[in-house]
Amino acid sequence: MLVLDYHLHLWPHGTRATGATIEQLAAYCEAARAAGVTEIAVTEHLFRFVQADAPLAGFWEDDPDPALRASMAAYWESHNQADLDDYVETALAAKDAGLPVVLGLEVDHYRGRMDKVAALLDGYPFDVLLGSVHWIGAWGFDILEDPVALAEWDRRTVESVWDAYTTDLEELAASGACDVLAHPDLAKVAGRRPEVPEEFYDRMAEAAASSGMAAEVSSAGWRKPAGEAYPAPALLDRFHRAGVPITTASDAHELPTVAHRSDDVRAMVAAAGYTELTAFSARRRRAVPV
Ligand SMILES: [Zn+2]
Ligand SMILES: [Zn+2]
């Protein structure tokens, strides 16, 4: 029985962040339970929270492309509304009420600024921090609904995108700021893969293994042009051989996709030879039998 959904958002992209409520978390737990999932992590994006604005807004300003800079600035502006303290308090109240929730955050990669991220998050009682590469410079390469971001895929070679993505992933892992590599091969989101992905898989597996991070197995890629879970089976095999522990996740942004395709994720994990998942509490891991 698959027992974790360790990547859940409260607010869909393109909608305003409303206040988090215990009722919403209870509904998530109920949907997860119905799918055989016994513990969830709420992991809203760091960039949703106004507390991230002062230390991190403007990370896109170094990018030479004005269209990408404007696109990212607008994306940030449309998302940066919620209060981190409210979010944390709601999740803690849910835990206190006995719901099987752990407090997490999806921490985006900010090139050269992960020390600022760590300083911002220090002092909050997080159970688990996901680390994600969502943008390369000012380019939000996975914001496929943005025509500017989507068009950029035609202006670069797939190899250069994967190389830049992997370089950022290596920096993120080496920073030690996070616990789990989320959607580890997100560079395939648009369905474009290099002819020889193995060298990138090797680098991703080495980054995870040398940093001590876990990696996430996520059904979200099935809902994208990639048409494949994250990570690809060949990358998951490398994680397994390198001794990288794993979590499982849906990356749902609303109730209907909580625990999405958890049976298929469980089958993938088993096929790769994993017999346990990794849960977190106060950023310390514990093994959970599959
Ligand atoms: Zn993500
Ligand atoms: Zn996410």
Helical (H) or strand (E) element with 175 = helix 158-175
Ligand 2 center to 163 CA (angstroms): 22
- Residue for token pair 């039998």: 289
Neighbours of 121 (CB within 10 A): 18
Separation of CA 72 and ligand 2 centre (Å): 17
Query: pLDDT tens digits, the chain, 290 residues: what are they?
Result: 558 999 999 988 888 778 889 999 999 999 999 999 999 999 999 999 999 999 999 999 999 999 999 999 999 999 999 999 999 999 999 999 999 999 999 999 999 999 999 999 999 999 999 999 999 999 999 999 999 999 999 999 999 999 999 999 999 999 999 999 999 999 999 999 999 999 999 999 999 999 999 999 999 999 999 999 999 999 999 999 999 999 999 999 999 999 999 999 999 999 999 999 999 999 999 999 98
For the chain, give the percent of residues with pLDDT over 70: 99
- 134 C-alpha to center of ligand 1: Å? 6
Degrees, nearest 5: CA angle 281-41-10: 145
Q: Bridge-partner residues for 102, per DSSP?
A: 41
Ligand at minimal distance from the CA of 183 is 1
> Which residues, by Cβ under 5 Å, contact ligand 1, an ion?
132
Rounded distance from Cα 195 to ligand 2 centre (Å): 27
Residue 220 CA, ligand 1 centroid: distance in Å: 9
Tell me how far the alpha carbon of residue 226 lies from the centroid of ligand 1, in angstroms: 14
Task: Give the closest ligand to the alpha carbon of residue 131.
Answer: 1
What's the pTM value of the predicted model, to 2 decimals? Answer: 0.96
Tell me how many degrees the CA angle 10-172-213 measures, rounded to the nearest 5: 80
- Cβ atoms within 10 Å of 98's Cβ, excluding its own: 8
The predicted structure's pLDDT at residue 17: 78
The amino acid at residue 264 is D
